[in-house]
């Protein structure tokens, strides 16, 4: 069994736990939207944090996570990276001039722009 992990948000520690396979269905798409420059990007980060915090303590609600006061962007980044590591995802910064990762749907398109039907 994994050691309990915590994240620091608003100067307080919160327990997080590895996600279930079912929770990963929600978490996977959130990784494609992560960012701090749009409400959707920040929402994706709070979704990941909620899932990991709820897994550690089922009493935690999404509203509880949204209500955490005093969170800094550096804390948010570190907390999301910790949850990503629990999921086996390695986060890295994109270097200036480096291409952004393609969305998963783009990987299944052929050069004609149609969806591939191969499994």
pLDDT digits (tens, 9 = 90+) for 24-77: 888 888 877 887 788 888 888 999 999 999 999 999 999 999 999 999 999 999
Is residue 52 situated within a structural domain?
A: yes
Q: Within the chain, where are the H helices?
A: 21-31, 39-56, 62-66, 73-86, 104-107
Q: Structure pTM? A: 0.69
| Number of compact structural domains in the chain | 1
Is residue 42 situated within a structural domain?
A: yes
Rounded to 5 degrees, φ, ψ at 7 are: -125, 150
Tokens of 55: 């897994």
Domain that holds residue 29: 5-94
- pLDDT tens, residue by residue, 66-82: 999 999 999 999 999 99
Is residue 51 situated within a structural domain?
A: yes
Is residue 83 situated within a structural domain?
A: yes
- pLDDT tens, residue by residue, 4-28: 699 999 999 999 999 888 888 888 8
Is residue 84 situated within a structural domain?
A: yes
Confidence of residue 95 (pLDDT cuts 50, 70, 90): low
Is residue 54 situated within a structural domain?
A: yes
Is residue 36 situated within a structural domain?
A: yes
The residue assigned the tokens 């910064």 is 93
Is residue 118 situated within a structural domain?
A: no
């Amino acid at each position: 069994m994994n050691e309990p992990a915590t994240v620091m948000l608003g100067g307080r520690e919160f327990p997080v736990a590895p996600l279930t396979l079912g929770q990963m269905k929600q978490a996977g798409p959130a990784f494609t939207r992560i960012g701090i420059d749009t409400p959707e990007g920040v929402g994706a980060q709070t979704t990941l944090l909620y899932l990991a915090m709820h897994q550690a303590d089922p009493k935690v609600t999404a509203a509880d996570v949204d209500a955490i006061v005093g969170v800094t962007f550096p804390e948010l980044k570190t907390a999301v990276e910790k949850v990503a590591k629990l999921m086996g995802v390695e986060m890295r910064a994109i270097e200036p001039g480096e291409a952004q990762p393609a969305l998963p749907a783009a990987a299944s398109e052929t050069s004609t722009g149609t969806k591939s039907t191969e499994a």
